Amino acid sequence: MVTRKDLTDLLRWHQEIGVDAIVMNEPNNRMKPAAPPVVTTVKPVISSMPAQHGSTHPASACQTLDELKDAMANFNQCSLKTTAMNMVFSDGNPKASIMLVGEAPGADEDKQGLPFVGLSGQLLDRMLATVKLSRKENIYITNIIPWRPPGNRPPTTAEIAACQPFVERHIELINPKILILIGGVAAKTLLNTTEGIVRLRGTWRSYQSAGLSQPIKTMATLHPAYLMRSPGQKAMVWRDLLSIAKEANIAL
């Protein structure tokens, strides 16, 4: 007999693997091949495939944001795409001189197809507003990974390696004056270091890639999801935001 505990365990298991919302009346098996059935010429999604780099990666040929978005939508070498509901490309003003890069979408971002729209994103917006930054006007936002990792687990090194050329090209196309890296995954990936976020934050760093004419001034800071768990650390982010506002000549 199925007991109440069995059902609770089943619900908990669904939550742990990322099934934490009901969005359709019928279950949708995203692992099922789309009709018509897969033919032998269709490449399977293999997450452990060696990551493509440099000029072999589809990101390298993209000359506009639309081309980049299309290339990402057609990319089949990151298995997170098969479990995500939506690809999360970006939000904000593409002409902004400040670009912010987070880690990966969560459940709310996956549903809406926009970065930082859940609770931690709302906290981020409020913090940015204290230094007169808003996605409507003067900031552009994306993530290292455009698809939600199931259950909000951290992205693996293979997933990061597969997607990194996209975010690097994204930064080159926006070419901001200031880059803000939110949280340890974004900071370590783009600053190419294993140092922790607490040591990385708070001082100006330099970000460079092959397609940039000059390095970009970069500030790493703590992730708002971490601040929600440890509100005592907000003062550090406040200091980082004041440095950013000063560098961007924003009068407060």
The residue ranges that bind ligand URA (CB under 6 A) are: 102-106, 109, 115-116, 120-121, 143, 182-183
> Apex CA 89: angle with CA 16 and CA 201, to 5°?
75
Buried b (16+ CB within 10 A) or exposed e, 137-168: ebbbbbbbbbbbbbebeebbebbbbbbbbbbb
Q: What's the closest the beta carbon of residue 172 comes to ligand URA, in angstroms?
A: 20
Helix (H, G, I), strand (E, B) or coil at 239: helix
CB nearer to ligand URA: pick between 86 and 209: 86
Q: Which is nearer to ligand URA, 79 or 120 (CB)?
A: 120
Q: Nearest distance from residue 242's CB to ligand URA, in Å?
A: 22
Residue 148 or 213 with smaller CB distance to ligand URA: 148
Q: Kindly tell me which of 135 and 205 has the beta carbon lying closer to ligand URA.
A: 135
Residue nearest to ligand URA (CB): 102
CB of 160 to ligand URA, least distance (A): 13
**Could you give the residue ranges of the DSSP H alpha helices within 113-182?**
119-130, 157-174
Q: How far is the CB of 120 from ligand URA (least distance, A)?
A: 5
Residue type, 172: E
| Shortest distance, position 195 Cβ to ligand URA, whole Å | 19
**Cross-strand pairs, 218:** 179, 205
Which residue's CB is nearer to ligand URA, number 18 or number 105? 105
Is 146 or 165 the residue whose CB approaches ligand URA more closely? Answer: 146
For residue 181, the minimal CB distance to ligand URA (Å) is 10
Nearer to ligand URA, 57 or 135 (CB): 135
Q: Which of 143, 232, 214, 136 is nearest to 178 (CA)?
A: 214
In the complex, minimum distance from the CB of residue 73 to ligand URA, in angstroms, rounded to a whole number: 17
Q: Burial-class residue 111 by CB neighbours within 10 Å (0-12, 13-18, 19+).
A: middle
Q: Which two tokens stand for residue 248?
A: 């961007």
The torsion angles phi and psi of 9, rounded to 5 degrees, stand at -60, -40
Q: Which residue has the tokens 């908990």?
A: 12
Token digits of residue 39? 């033919």
